[in-house]
Structure 1
Amino acid sequence: MRHEARGVGLAPLEVVVESVEGRTLSVSWSATPPGSHKPYEYARIFVVALDSQVRTYIDIVDGRHATSLSVSDTLGAGDYAVEVDAYGSASWGDGRLEGRGRSAPFTL
């Protein structure tokens, strides 16, 4: 499921939660349509509680468009989505947000 990019100039990302095993998620993301945007250098990964829309930071990923990550036990059982903020600069400290997307819902 594609989530509308918020903000001027942000490219939409397709974010897919490929599997949920316990509290471990396998996630991938890409620009939509494919090839429509320059490569992203790194991404910040968030889990969003669908009942409150609160974003919880999970990890930063350099140089890849997929990852497996563990979700903290502090997040209760419920329905969630993964949001990815993608940056075009190789330096995550001064990178520019260039893409954003949200996955389809999943249950923890």
Structure 2
Amino acid sequence: MRYRAGLAGEATLRVTVEFSDAGSRSLGIEWSPVASGAHKKLEYARIFLVPLGSEGRRVYLGIVDGRASTSVRLPEALADGEYAMEVDAYGSASWGDGRLDARGRSATFVVGAGGLPCGTGG
């Protein structure tokens, strides 16, 4: 899947990922609109894990209601490699009808040693 934030009128999000230590499989994710004064409040977000450097599909991790941050757990069977987190955000509960309001992708991070995050990339 080719990443295309900002197309079809949606806003671009700044997405950050944090993990506390190499032994933790949980990541903290935060997002905010890149441009100040976003046109509408974002109420819901869907969170995805994206494998990089291959034709792998993004993996749905969950939905967040009314917040601009969350904590997610990496899948147990996650292969070593480079990944990013993507956030699709919606201004209302109408996310099911395909009205995407904002999208963003984090910087690359590396998963190694049996699926544990071991650092950040570019």
TM bucket, shorter chain: 0.7 to 0.9
RMSD of aligned Cα (Å): 1.9
Match of 1:37 in 2: 39
The structure that is helix-richer by fraction is: 2
1:93 is paired with a residue of what secondary structure?
helix
The structure that is strand-richer by fraction is: 1
- Aligned: 1:65 with 2:97: no
Question: 1:63 Cα deviation (Å)?
Answer: 0.4
Per-residue CA deviations over 1:33-58 (Å, capped at 9, x if unaligned) read: 23233111100000100122521111
Count of residue correspondences = 106
Q: State how far apart, in whole Å, the 1-side matches of 2:101 and 2:39 are.
A: 9
Match of 2:101 among 98, 103, 106: 98
Q: Determine which structure has more spread, i.e. the larger CA radius of gyration.
A: 2
Tell me which moved more, 5-14 or 98-107. 5-14
Contact 1:89 1:96 in 2 (8 A): no
Match of 1:76 among 79, 104, 121: 79
In structure 2, give the amino acid aligned to 1:55: R
What TM-score comes out, normalization by structure 1 length? Answer: 0.86
2:96 is paired with a residue of what secondary structure?
coil
User: In structure 2, do the counterparts of structure 1 residues 87 and 70 end up closer, same or farther at CA, with 3 Å as the change threshold?
Assistant: same
1:15 is paired with a residue of what secondary structure?
strand
Identity of aligned residues (%): 54
User: Where does structure 1 differ by over 4 angstroms across 4 or more consecutive aligned residues?
Assistant: none
Per-residue CA deviations over 1:49-86 (Å, capped at 9, x if unaligned) read: 01225211111100000001101112212110000000
Which of structures 1 and 2 has the larger relative contact order (alpha carbons within 8 angstroms, sep 6+)?
A: 1
Contact 1:43 1:85 in 2 (8 A): yes
What TM-score comes out, normalization by structure 2 length? Answer: 0.77
Q: State how far apart, in whole Å, the 1-side matches of 2:26 and 2:96 are.
A: 27
For structure 2, the residue ranges without an aligned partner over 5 or more in a row are: 112-122
